[in-house]
Amino acid sequence: MKHRIELKSEHLHSSFNSTYPPILKVRSGDTLETQTPDIEWGYSAAEGEERVIYSSREQEEKLGHPLIGPIEIEGARPGMVLEVRIDENIPGWYGRNWAGGTPAWQNEKLGIANSERLQVDWELNREQMTGKCAMAGTEFSVALSPFLGLIGLAPGAPGTHPTAPPYRTGGNIDCKELVKGSSLFLPIEVDGAMLSFGDGHALQGDGENSGTAIECPMDHVALTVVLHEEMTLRMPKAKTPAGWVTFGFDEDLNEAAATALDEMIGLIQDFHSVSKTQATALASVAVDLHITQIVNGVKGVHALLPHGAIR
């Protein structure tokens, strides 16, 4: 069954809390279709059309990412796994990214004054999947690869949790591999799973180096949810067009890398029935470690095993 979710403030929130009431209850196999606002809580359907500004129904003191949800999945219980299939991500006509100002420690390393905050406005062409901007009298063009920066379930820990850091249950992973055709597998910690998503990105490099991607609204998002009752996961994983992806999150980048690699080694063991030492040897020649992002407090690393790399 398909469910169309209207873009309105009553369907938006900007923090995680397992007690937030769901906006919708769906079954395994159902598809969610909606639009998402830009990172500044706005949406404009076309150039020249007024940009509508939305708010959070939870009225948080400090707004984080604007998220659609939460959506309850019937029969979901802690210990199960929710697969989120990414069927479509069509960006809006505009986007923005910023450099300078934050994160301050990074600007110091790069020699950028904190006062030198730059906003770059992008015009997005959804038919050609290109974006263009003008800086220093020159027009620049990039090929778009849209994805949602944030897809996550409510953490099981009590209380309210910010959207910025990624969690074991997903959230602000900011992984550019999670494009159309990907499946993201998330461990469930609360009854109903309580799925939320948003944070449209038209394009992002690994690292999300200045702190932002091309942040954009999404004109059309389609996600299909599939409940796996017998599957267990310690951390999120994904099957993407590029290959299998495993994740590690930690304030220490080395720890995040170790977790992502350990998760991938476990996958290789499962796929090829080899020992952990043997899987590590295979990973060393076939798996790439990428810095997902370094700007959300908790850093992210993802390991990528291309399809067919080990036969």
| 209-232: pLDDT as tens digits | 999 999 999 999 999 999 999 999
What is the fold, at CATH topology level, of the domain defined by 242-306? Endonuclease I-creI (3.10.28)
Give start-end residues of each CATH 3.10.28.20 domain in the chain.
Answer: 242-306
Q: Does residue 104 have a pLDDT over 70?
A: no
Asked if 296 and 270 touch (Cβ cutoff 8 Å), the reply is no
Asked if 192 and 153 touch (Cβ cutoff 8 Å), the reply is no
Q: What was the pLDDT predicted at 147? A: 98
Give start-end residues of each CATH 2.60.120.580 domain in the chain.
Answer: 2-91+147-231
pLDDT tens track for 162-196: 999 999 999 999 999 999 999 999 999 999 999 99
Q: What was the pLDDT predicted at 181? A: 98
| 273 Rama sector, left if φ>0, alpha if ψ -120 to 50, beta otherwise | left
Q: Does residue 19 have a pLDDT over 90?
A: yes
Q: What is the mean predicted confidence (pLDDT) over 134-148?
A: 97
Q: What is the mean predicted confidence (pLDDT) over 64-86?
A: 98
Exposed, middle or buried: residue 106 (CB in 10 Å: 0-12, 13-18, 19+)? middle
pLDDT tens track for 235-269: 999 999 999 999 999 999 999 999 999 999 999 99
The amino acid at residue 181 is G
Question: How remote is the C-alpha of 214 from its chain's centroid?
Answer: 13
What confidence category does residue 103 fall into, taking pLDDT thresholds of 50, 70 and 90? low
What is the fold, at CATH topology level, of the domain defined by 2-91+147-231? Jelly Rolls (2.60.120)
